[in-house]
Amino acid sequence: MTVRANQTQNHSAIRDRLRSIPAVYFLYGILMRCVFETRAFIATAVWAASSKNQKHSPLPPPRLLHRVCGSFSAEDYLDSGRKDFKKLSNIFKCLEIRKNQPAKILDFGCGSSRTLRHFFELDSAWEYFRTDLDQEAVEWNQTNFHGQANWCANQVTPPTQFRDNNFDVIYAISIFTHLDEQLQRVWLQEFKRILKDDGTLIITVHGKAVWKDKKDWRQKVQSNGMYFMHTHKGIRNLTRTPSHYHTALHCRDYILATWSSIFPNIQYVDAESHNEHDYVILSRRGFSVVKNISSFI
């Protein structure tokens, strides 16, 4: 999530200073872990009490909330998912992907249904497929949204269990924002395999809106086209993300130059708001032009 990029940026100055003093830095990590666990305990107790009387769609437990939106707040989880859903819905309209026409749609890296749950409210002919590396999230989805999508878990690297030429649309929200260059490339190849010849792939990335105001980030991205920044694991891995999962920053020109070898038709849509994701729309065939990200909202 972009929230994690914000948190990384906000805390980086403190960490850079503390890192030069190993003992202090270690104690800082313990303090951060204690604060996080205390907040998680309180949030879980509140969630357990309130979930008994829930009248709306179920909300995931706080740790799963935090894993997908960087917050224990149900409001943050719902709002961020709703925003991405609206953007995707309007991209679908621009690409003439109509609700009354059957389509197979894959949410790659679905997490705990942050975006997905809003699709369930549509009256559409679409068939939903969802996959994620997080087995805990997959099991929660299967229990709480049983029958509303086809759920499965994927591994760190391809292949998936899906057959060739299978999906009309694949979207990956806040996934390539955390993968290194090699993993991005193998997953692009896998998406090409399972996407129909006339299908559409939608990916979000940390573009200029995220890194332009951070001098060291900006220099590294502009020099290399992409900057993969290792975030802390071990005791400071508060959300317990996998070891390969860090922070990736992209330059528009890099994506247009490198990803086009796999998907020749690329539309790159810059975010207009600070710290928002850029959208990359890819296809093996042409598609309607999405002029401005503001039309997504």
Q: Which residue has the higher pLDDT, 194 or 270?
A: 194
pLDDT single digits (tens) 142-168: 999 988 999 999 999 999 999 999 999
Q: State residue 273's pLDDT score.
A: 80
What pairs with residue 127 in β-bridges? 104
Q: State residue 236's pLDDT score.
A: 52
What pairs with residue 126 in β-bridges? 103
pLDDT band at 297 (very low <50, low <70, confident <90, very high): very low
10 has a pLDDT exceeding 60: no
30 has a pLDDT exceeding 70: yes
pLDDT single digits (tens) 198-245: 999 999 999 999 999 999 999 999 999 999 998 765 555 566 667 888
Distance CA 206, CA 249 (A): 5
- From the candidate CATH numbers 3.40.50.12280, 3.40.50.150, 3.40.50.2300, 3.10.180.10, the one assigned to the domain spanning 2-296: 3.40.50.150
Q: State residue 29's pLDDT score.
A: 79
Q: Retrieve residue 265's tokens.
A: 């038709």
CB atoms within 10 A of CB 278: 22
Q: State residue 287's pLDDT score.
A: 66
Domain ranges of the chain: 2-296
State percent of the chain over pLDDT 90: 62
173 has a pLDDT exceeding 70: yes
* Contacts for 155 with CB less than 8 Å, ≥ 6 apart: 133
9 has a pLDDT exceeding 60: no
State percent of the chain over pLDDT 70: 86
The separation between the first and the last C-alpha atoms of the chain, rounded to the nearest angstrom, is 18
Q: Which range (56-60, 189-193, 218-222, 287-291) has the least confidence?
A: 287-291
Q: Which range (99-103, 115-119, 222-226, 291-295) has the least confidence?
A: 291-295
Do 64 and 136 contact (CB within 8 A), yes or no? yes
Q: State residue 264's pLDDT score.
A: 93
Q: State residue 3's pLDDT score.
A: 47
Q: State residue 234's pLDDT score.
A: 55
pLDDT single digits (tens) 281-293: 999 877 666 655 4
The two beta strands, 167-172 and 195-205, are parallel
Q: State residue 172's pLDDT score.
A: 98
Mean pLDDT for all residues in the chain: 87
Distance CA 89, CA 249 (A): 25
Do 181 and 191 contact (CB within 8 A), yes or no? no
| Mean pLDDT of the region 105-109 | 97
pTM as predicted: 0.87
